[in-house]
């Protein structure tokens, strides 16, 4: 009869300590979002299918989880789809809703739907789970949280400046010193392609260039050649294969390289504004770097592109990313709404903090003290004290049964509860409480007021 | 081209102020859960279908949202189900996963799956959304949060005592004074049915009795007769139709009425222990009442049954409920695990707090101050100050564009931001900031340190 319990692949249960650690990261991100003036919104877990489908490319459509219509969902379906077992065509007839794939498209939908209630520019943050029917692998899940902050309705480059500071502020507060915030600009990439006369091959070019770290200069050049980019064109961008120096030096090189491209020079100008101001205002612990191979989100970003790398020495992909997209809401009919935003990769950040042992000791899901249970009379006395302690905010509990004392101590120990409180006949008579430090074994008798002071 | 954006019926978008209000309730509940020694867990949004199906009755099965398998989901389906358009039978072949319907079954699954890692008794809380394909109506949604606290692995009635205190603590802290925590016991209900000789009609009996408030004594009796409960049997429970007095008096009446029923007397004994201790330890603002018509969750509760009613004068159904179930985990193969828990109805609590205007003024999603933008030089100066203010935890922002000043003031006003900060040429020269109280119109010039003090 009994089922062996399990959960779907790619999903996770989180134990109390795991929840506590994740909440520590969430609340750090959240408090920084709010310090920077972002306001929270939440959208439904599932959207109408037409809101999501077609927004993430063919591959994305495939990875969206679809929800089966309720009731007799086959009643009005096309017979030929059924007899031909045409899964793809049937889907639209038996499924009207789909689980959120990211937070950006629901945000765009939200902005358009509520445009008359929103005061623009609108700085919103959103921390909610998303779902993808991806093949699960290490660090990649089918359910995971996204933490996004976006501004919509202003072209000001001060947003980009602030978003870099926001990254710095969050990672500094998490104790994750030395992350590198990489910045690039879509217009730089377009400019490069334009200069080399391969505008139509921009995606091929940037995808190849993005692999510089992985397959090296020769590998990238080989791939570019295979994709039909000429040797001559590649020669023109030779400086990009050894693109070092300070940000100012790099920007200078780009200004030379792209002098013939109007769009490229616009990108240079934007980068310069952002980088100059970031450097002048100063960062707490993060490094800023201009990375011309950075080409993430190429299909939708139109200006700045961001990506954050974990501190040197930690083998981990990017722990955050973002950029500017000039037409965030056009797909839902609202034109000329520029957006810019960043995202934090919670799961990877948690892994990095764990690896570097940066979780504070105060991150725990455990009570401060446990009262032992010596029977109903003692328990009643204890409960009155517990009630008062809790009203003062102390996390405290009582062992529910009058079990053997050894078993009760063991419970407190296994739970990582630091103090045990003992109340027997004598303590009740003297209005006292014996508090035992379970780490040191020290025990003393104190009044309720002193107990409260010690546990607060 | 453009789609008119909308969301699925029964779901909701939450605006910044709505999120802030909900988070205020969530965090009050959460901090009380932790004060009472409960630890957080989280489970996946979707479970394997076999984990959920068959656990909530036929109606429940129908209301569970099923997720369509990915890829060519029709490939291996039974042809006859397709040609017969047999939606019910096909479902099991094209859907392996389903959205969580409540938090109790996933919790039972979690306990069994992780039994070797859990230190029992296990006090867990869980605050996550659930989904039901119910017909949406006022106050009933297809996606809503549940806030559950349960203890598993102990029969101690002290848990019930503490759960009543937990309700009192949460509602007192929310300023919701005068809620009524109704308590009953499944064994009392069984005992009553036993005494009147209608054990096989227990559900009919309690469903009818539960309607006493709505259809009156005559209506209930009529329904009981229609369900085949004899006049003689009904006469035996006549005291229940006018069941008033203090809790002690009510318990005394029950002890007389149920003296012949062993199970009923066990229920009386349990009620007495819980109520006596709750009253002796004391409640802050809530009332405790013994309500013998309370029969919620009859199918699974085996001991105490709880329900919380909003303060008198507020027309609202129950805002919380719970009870004890002796065999929480048996369905997943782990026997003898008694559980007891309570739940908070977030949406209704929010409505009540809104109606009574009990949300504190500090519940806001807005920045404390907005710096006006007079151009890039001034903005840079402002950003340095903003950076410092944020490092001290102040929620502050800058208007991103050097727009007309009237427009900027209007933005701060519409957003409900209390202070505007002005930095022009003169302020820069004197290292000062003009801070304007947007409610009073008062304006003064201060140093950065004083500004920090005022905004902190």
CA A274/CA A161 separation, integer angstroms: 5
Q: Is the peptide bond before B121 cis (omega within 30 degrees of 0)?
A: yes
pLDDT in tens, B297-341: 667 899 999 999 999 989 888 999 999 998 889 989 999 899 999
- Closest CA of chain B from A445, distance in Å: 23
pLDDT the model gives residue A213: 79
Q: Domains along chain A? A: 11-175+325-340 (3.30.930.10), 180-309 (3.30.930.10), 369-455 (3.40.50.800)
Mutual angle of helices A186-195 and A247-257, in 10-degree steps: 40
One-character DSSP codes across A283-335: -SS-EEEE-TT--TTTTT--SEEEEEEPPTT----EEEEEEEETTSSGGGT--
pLDDT in tens, B151-166: 999 999 999 999 999 9
> What's A23's DSSP letter?
H
A154–B contact, CB cutoff 8 A: yes
pLDDT in tens, B184-241: 999 999 898 888 887 778 778 878 887 887 899 999 999 999 999 999 889 988 888 8
| Residue pairs spanning A and B at CB distance below 8 A | 304
CA A427/CA B393 separation, integer angstroms: 45
B37–A contact, CB cutoff 8 A: yes
> Which residues on B lie below 8 Å from A65 (Cβ)?
46, 67-68, 70
> Which residues on A lie below 8 Å from B166 (Cβ)?
none
- In contact, B229 and B205? CB cutoff 8 Å: yes
**Which of B402, B399, B391, B441 is closest to B419 using CA atoms?**
B441
Q: How confident is the model at residue B283 (pLDDT cuts 50, 70, 90)?
A: very high
Six token digits for residue B102: 């409540």
Please judge whether B387 and A281 are an interchain contact, meaning their C-beta atoms are less than 8 angstroms apart: yes
B407–A contact, CB cutoff 8 A: no
Chain centroid to Cα B388, Å, comes to 39
Please judge whether B158 and A400 are an interchain contact, meaning their C-beta atoms are less than 8 angstroms apart: yes
B384–A contact, CB cutoff 8 A: yes
Please judge whether A395 and B35 are an interchain contact, meaning their C-beta atoms are less than 8 angstroms apart: yes
CA A327/CA A323 separation, integer angstroms: 12
pLDDT the model gives residue A170: 98
pLDDT the model gives residue A90: 96
List the pLDDT tens digit at each of the 456 positions of chain A. 455 799 999 999 999 999 999 999 999 999 999 999 999 999 999 999 999 999 998 899 999 999 999 999 999 999 999 999 999 999 999 999 999 999 999 999 999 999 999 999 999 999 999 999 999 888 889 999 999 999 999 999 999 999 999 999 999 999 999 999 999 999 999 898 888 887 778 778 878 887 887 899 999 999 999 998 999 889 988 888 888 899 999 999 999 999 999 999 999 999 999 999 999 999 999 999 999 888 776 678 999 999 999 999 898 889 999 999 988 899 899 999 999 999 999 999 999 999 999 999 989 879 999 999 999 999 999 999 999 999 999 999 999 999 999 999 999 999 999 999 999 999 999 999 999 999 999 999 999 999 999 999
CB-closest option in B331, B395, B398 to A35: B395
**Which of B277, B290, B308 is closest to B249 using CA atoms?**
B290
- Interface with chain B: mutation pick from A4, A6, A8, A153, highest number of B CBs within 10 Å: A8
Please judge whether A68 and B68 are an interchain contact, meaning their C-beta atoms are less than 8 angstroms apart: yes
CA A219/CA A240 separation, integer angstroms: 14
Please judge whether B68 and A67 are an interchain contact, meaning their C-beta atoms are less than 8 angstroms apart: yes
pLDDT surpasses 50 at B403: yes
The ipTM is 0.94
pLDDT surpasses 90 at B406: yes
- Closest CA of chain A from B297, distance in Å: 23
CA distances from B291 to B180, B186, B251, B252, B269 (A): 10, 12, 11, 14, 16
- Interface with chain B: mutation pick from A1, A34, A59, A67, highest number of B CBs within 10 Å: A67
Please judge whether B75 and A85 are an interchain contact, meaning their C-beta atoms are less than 8 angstroms apart: yes
- In contact, A8 and B44? CB cutoff 8 Å: yes
A3–B contact, CB cutoff 8 A: yes
Please judge whether A13 and B50 are an interchain contact, meaning their C-beta atoms are less than 8 angstroms apart: no
Six token digits for residue A244: 């070092």
B58–A contact, CB cutoff 8 A: no
CA A7/CA A450 separation, integer angstroms: 47
**Does an H or E element contain A431, and which?**
none
B61–A contact, CB cutoff 8 A: no
Which residues share a beta bridge with A126?
A148
Helices and strands, number each (H, E), in chain A: 18, 16
pTM: 0.94
Instruction: Using the structure block, give the residue that is written with the tokens 């003062």.
Output: A392
A93–B contact, CB cutoff 8 A: no
- In contact, B225 and B217? CB cutoff 8 Å: no
A residues 184-223 near B, CB within 8 Å?
none
- In contact, B250 and B136? CB cutoff 8 Å: no
Please judge whether B109 and A5 are an interchain contact, meaning their C-beta atoms are less than 8 angstroms apart: yes
Which residues share a beta bridge with B122?
B152
Please judge whether A332 and B2 are an interchain contact, meaning their C-beta atoms are less than 8 angstroms apart: yes
Torsion, Cα of B387, B393, B394, B399 (10° steps): 40
């Amino acid at each position: 009869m009994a089922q062996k319990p399990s959960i779907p692949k790619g999903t996770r249960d989180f134990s109390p300590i795991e929840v506590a650690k994740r909440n520590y990261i969430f609340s750090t991100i959240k408090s920084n979002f709010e310090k920077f003036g972002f306001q929270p919104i939440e959208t439904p877990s599932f959207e109408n299918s037409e809101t999501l489908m077609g927004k993430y490319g063919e591959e994305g459509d495939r990875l969206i989880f679809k929800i089966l219509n309720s009731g007799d969902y086959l009643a009005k379906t096309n017979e030929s789809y059924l007899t031909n077992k045409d899964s793809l065509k049937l889907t639209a007839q038996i499924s009207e809703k789909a689980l959120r794939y990211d937070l950006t498209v629901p945000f765009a939908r939200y902005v358009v739907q509520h445009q008359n209630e929103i005061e623009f520019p609108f700085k919103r943050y959103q921390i909610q789970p998303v779902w993808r029917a991806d093949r699960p692998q290490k660090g990649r899940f089918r359910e995971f949280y996204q933490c996004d902050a976006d501004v919509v309705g202003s072209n000001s480059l001060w947003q980009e400046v602030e978003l870099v500071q926001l990254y710095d502020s969050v990672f500094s507060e998490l104790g994750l010193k030395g992350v590198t915030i990489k910045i690039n600009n879509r217009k730089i990439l377009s400019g490069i392609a334009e200069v080399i006369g391969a505008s139509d091959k921009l995606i091929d070019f940037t995808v190849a260039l993005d692999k510089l770290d992985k397959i090296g200069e020769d590998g990238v050049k080989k791939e570019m050649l295979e994709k039909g980019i000429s040797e001559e064109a590649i020669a023109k961008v030779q400086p990009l294969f050894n693109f070092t120096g300070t940000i100012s030096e790099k920007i200078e090189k780009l200004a030379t390289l792209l002098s013939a491209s109007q769009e490229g020079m616009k990108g240079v100008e934007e980068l310069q504004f952002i980088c100059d101001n970031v450097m002048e205002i100063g960062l707490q612990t993060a490094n800023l770097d201009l990375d011309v191979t950075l080409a993430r989100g190429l299909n939708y970003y139109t200006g700045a592109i961001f990506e954050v790398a974990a501190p040197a020495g930690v083998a981990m992909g990017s722990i955050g990313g973002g950029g500017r997209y000039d037409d965030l809401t056009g797909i839902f009919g609202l034109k000329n709404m520029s957006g810019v935003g960043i995202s934090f990769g919670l799961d990877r950040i948690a892994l990095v903090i764990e690896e570097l042992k940066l979780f504070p000791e105060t991150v725990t899901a455990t009570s401060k003290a446990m009262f032992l249970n010596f029977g109903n009379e003692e328990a009643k006395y204890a409960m009155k004290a517990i009630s008062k302690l809790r009203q003062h905010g102390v996390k405290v509990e009582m062992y529910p049964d009058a079990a053997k004392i050894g078993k009760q101590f063991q419970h407190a120990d296994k739970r990582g509860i630091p103090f045990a409180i003992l109340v027997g006949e004598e303590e009740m008579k003297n209005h006292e409480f014996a508090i035992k430090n379970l780490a040191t074994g020290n025990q003393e008798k104190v009044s309720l007021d002193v107990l409260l002071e010690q546990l607060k």
